[in-house]
């Protein structure tokens, strides 16, 4: 089975209509990939009647200027996100820490990460939340994550653990990676390398979630998983594009609606 992330994301979006929530997006510089992501987010907001406002700051903006924009937009927005990566001279930790936690729809603020760790209710990071939505019940399942970034691998591990999965996190220093991935009932790859997960690394009948967004040697969008050969062996797999990507955007919208409802309480 190919897991249709686009269709499932559409269902999530349909449930969010009519919220009148407001999202502010801050982008610094003109990284082409970030511009595409910001445009997609604006478009997605329009689909579900979330008002969006994007502020583009020049690549030369200072940390203080980015923080000043956050403060200014906070007066209007229910949710605020700062598109990453930021130019190197900007203090990312300071910027993310300046987003009011109740408006932190990406869930990068240390307060929200703390709540995630202790399992308190609250906003959850978008990509891991989208993956959990796709997976449904993972109780008792052996989940192996390849990648330990703060955006995907680490928060996903915490959320799977909270959902009663048995979780292993692998990374670039893991010895004999395939010996772990082959044990997975659910294998999630968030590495960022095309054709990184091959059929010999996967257990027959497993569920495979491909988080990677890469370009192959012909410039075509692809994930981390060698799709054709792995799809032939597993019970379910997400495609790239059309898998985790649309779910991430849907979860951002869901978080915005949730943030708005927290603030109205």
Q: Can you give the binding site for ligand NDP, defined by CB under 6 A?
A: 127, 146-149, 151-153, 170-174, 177, 190-192, 211-214, 244-245, 248
**Catalytic entry in 13, 22, 41, 203:** 41
Show Cβ contacts of residue 176 under 8 Å, excluding neighbours closer than 6 positions.
none
Kindly tell me which of 28 and 152 has the beta carbon lying closer to ligand NDP. Answer: 152
Please report how close the Cβ of residue 68 comes to ligand NDP at its closest, in angstroms.
Answer: 27
Please report how close the Cβ of residue 210 comes to ligand NDP at its closest, in angstroms.
Answer: 8
Please report how close the Cβ of residue 232 comes to ligand NDP at its closest, in angstroms.
Answer: 23
Show Cβ contacts of residue 246 under 8 Å, excluding neighbours closer than 6 positions.
5, 6, 8, 9, 10
Kindly tell me which of 247 and 257 has the beta carbon lying closer to ligand NDP. Answer: 247
**Catalytic entry in 78, 104, 106, 210:** 106
What's the rounded Cα separation, in Å, for the pair 260 and 237? 33
Nearest in space to 195 (alpha carbons), one of 260, 163, 240? 240
The reply to whether 41 belongs to the active site is: yes
Show Cβ contacts of residue 28 under 8 Å, excluding neighbours closer than 6 positions.
56, 57, 58, 59, 61, 66, 82, 83, 86, 87, 90
**Catalytic entry in 13, 78, 83, 104:** 83
Show Cβ contacts of residue 186 under 8 Å, excluding neighbours closer than 6 positions.
135, 138, 141, 142, 143, 144, 165, 206, 207, 208, 209
Name the residue with tokens 């497993």: 206
Please report how close the Cβ of residue 140 comes to ligand NDP at its closest, in angstroms.
Answer: 25
Kindly tell me which of 210 and 258 has the beta carbon lying closer to ligand NDP. Answer: 210
96, 109 Cβ separation under 8 angstroms = yes
Kindly tell me which of 248 and 255 has the beta carbon lying closer to ligand NDP. Answer: 248
Nearest in space to 185 (alpha carbons), one of 159, 158, 212, 167? 167
Query: H or E element: which one contains 70?
Result: helix 63-74
Please report how close the Cβ of residue 33 comes to ligand NDP at its closest, in angstroms.
Answer: 8
Tokens of 17: 């209509």
Kindly tell me which of 73 and 188 has the beta carbon lying closer to ligand NDP. Answer: 188
Report the catalytic residues.
41, 83, 106
């Amino acid at each position: 089975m190919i897991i249709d992330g686009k269709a499932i994301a559409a269902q999530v979006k349909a449930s969010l209509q009519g919220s009148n929530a407001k999202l502010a997006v801050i982008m610094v510089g003109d990284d082409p990939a970030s511009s595409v992501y910001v445009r997609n987010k604006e478009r997605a907001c329009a689909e579900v009647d979330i008002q969006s406002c994007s502020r583009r700051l020049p690549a030369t903006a200072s940390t203080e200027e980015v923080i000043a924009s956050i403060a200014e937009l906070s007066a209007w927005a229910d949710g605020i996100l700062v598109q990453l990566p930021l130019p190197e001279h900007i203090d990312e930790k300071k910027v993310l820490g300046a987003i009011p936690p109740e408006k932190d729809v990406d869930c990068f603020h240390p307060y929200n990460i703390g709540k995630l760790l202790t399992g308190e209710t609250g906003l959850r990071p978008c990509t891991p939340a989208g993956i959990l939505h796709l997976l449904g019940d993972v109780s008792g399942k052996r989940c192996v994550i390849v990648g330990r970034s703060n955006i995907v691998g680490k928060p996903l591990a915490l959320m799977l653990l909270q959902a009663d999965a048995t979780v292993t996190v692998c990374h670039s220093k893991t010895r004999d990676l395939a010996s772990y991935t082959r044990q997975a009932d659910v294998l999630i790859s968030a590495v960022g390398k095309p054709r990184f997960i091959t059929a010999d690394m996967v257990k027959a009948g497993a569920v495979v979630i491909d988080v990677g967004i890469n370009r192959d040697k012909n410039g075509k969008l692809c994930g981390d998983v060698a799709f054709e050969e792995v799809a032939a062996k597993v019970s379910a797999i997400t495609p790239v594009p059309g898998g985790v990507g649309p779910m991430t955007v849907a979860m951002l919208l869901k978080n915005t609606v949730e943030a708005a409802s927290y603030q109205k309480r």
